[in-house]
Amino acid sequence: MASLERSNRHESSGLDSCRVYVTKPFLPPLEEFIPYLKNIWDSRVLTNRGNFHSALEEQLSKYLGVKYISLCSSGTIGLLIAFKALGIKGEVITTPYSFIATAHSLLWSNLTPIFVDIDPLTLNIDSNKIEAAITNKTSAILPVHCYGTPCDVDKIQEIADRYGLKVVYDAAHAFGVKCHCGSILNHGDFSVLSFHATKVFNTLEGGAIISGDLETKSMIDQLLNFGFENETSVLSLGLNGKMNEFNAAFGLLQLNSIDDLIKKRASIDKLYRQQIASIEGISCAQFSTALSHNFSYFPVFVEADYPLRRDQLYDILIGHNIFTRKYFFPLITSFPMYKHYSTASAANLPVASDVAHKVLCLPIFPELPISTVVKICKIIAQPLNSNGYLIS
Ligand SMILES: *Cc1c(COP(=O)(O)O)cnc(C)c1O
């Protein structure tokens, strides 16, 4: 422990620029954004469905292979709007292994989260355990395509149909992911994307709601704009969830490089897998079953036969200026607003509890140098010398 502290103090005194974080948002060259800004300055249209907004909706629906998309100000707002549009009440079945916004969106909507354990391979909600959690108060299922790995969409839809439930996918990780039947985003009643700065495709802040038909999209657009039908009539209890022209313009520019950015992520993913294969006690998440994956995260698991515990490895990597993240630890169910739910107990969620204690997300982003990936893997392979002290 003493050596661990010394290592941290020694190494973290380096310049901030040497630090490697779990992600680093890609920014196109600044001069390429200037013409977009000039356009906004000239038109004075800053928000409320301007030209950039319409263009981004059109281009994204083509790129993603979805019918109707509504841009919004964040993924979290998108989830709230989706629940409002469906009018769901009572209990909603969801996963504890996700970012806090998944469950928060339910509480904000006065819905009761019912937590169901995850599948140990996909890390998504275990579709075999959903039925047992259904009661006469259940109105919907809120699964997450965790790390961009597709949920068992067919099984989930079959259950939803049989019990008359709605399905809203938290697709914050699933930009561009395709499965056997095209875009993964075409499943359920709605899929909600996040375009937050840390996501694969970003508009600084932002998100989108995918609808299956035009009528539903119109309802969503109305809810995102205070419920206005037109200048003088308000038809629904909407809020302000609009995306503005700056975010939309940034998204349009970002979309030009997205294929290249995902390709770079794919090669980093491949290199990590090659390097980690020979490290005893460290395992990688299974390779995604998606036909087209986005390589948004690179989670590894610190198993019992690794010489250190997950938190020790996390600290050692910080000592080398490598800032990994414990995504998703703690589980959503351990936070104060959730822990009193009967389905939040560790006994109900053995797989999620186990995974949360051993997971570490390694840095992955398009500009991550190959040499840094190799260095990270070297540190993980040999964190200690023969006397049991840290190598630093
Ligand atoms: C990022 C994220 C969200 C929230 O999206 P915002 O755009 O930040 O509001 C929701 N769910 C998951 C799983 C996320 O990773």
Residue type, 249: A
Tokens of 157: 């839809």
Q: Which residues line ligand 1 (CB under 6 A)?
A: 74-76, 98-99, 101-102, 144, 170, 172-173, 194, 196, 207
Give me 110's structure tokens. 């006065």
Q: Fold for domain 4-25+259-381?
A: Aspartate Aminotransferase, domain 1 (3.90.1150)
Taking the chain (392 residues) in consecutive chunks of 10 residues, what is each chunk's mean pLDDT? 40 62 95 98 96 98 97 98 98 98 98 98 98 98 98 98 98 95 96 98 98 97 97 96 98 98 97 97 90 96 96 96 96 98 97 98 97 97 72 56
Domain with CATH 3.40.640.10 in the chain: 30-255
CA dihedral sign, ordered 185, 200, 270, 362:
negative
Measured distance CA(125)–CA(146) in Å, rounded: 9
> Can you name the residues that pair with 191 across neighbouring β-strands?
169, 210
* pLDDT tens digit sequence for 106-155: 999 999 999 999 999 999 999 999 999 999 999 999 999 999 999 999 99
Closest by Cα among 115, 165, 111, 109 to 136: 165
105 neighbors 80 (Cβ within 8 angstroms): yes
How far does Cα 350 stand from its chain's mean position? 22
Residue range 4-24, pLDDT digits in tens: 434 444 444 445 569 999 999
Q: Whose CA is nearest to atom 10 of ligand 1?
A: 101
**Cα separation of 324 and 95, whole Å?**
23
CATH 3.60.20.10 fits domain 30-255: no
**230 Cα: distance to centroid of ligand 1 (angstroms):** 30
pTM of the model: 0.94
Q: Are 359 and 298 in contact (CB under 8 A)?
A: no
pLDDT for res 287: 84
CATH code 3.90.1150.10 region(s) in the chain: 4-25+259-381
Contact 312, 318 (CB under 8 A): no
- Index of the ligand 1 atom closest to the CA of residue 102: 11
Q: Say which DSSP state 92 is in.
A: E
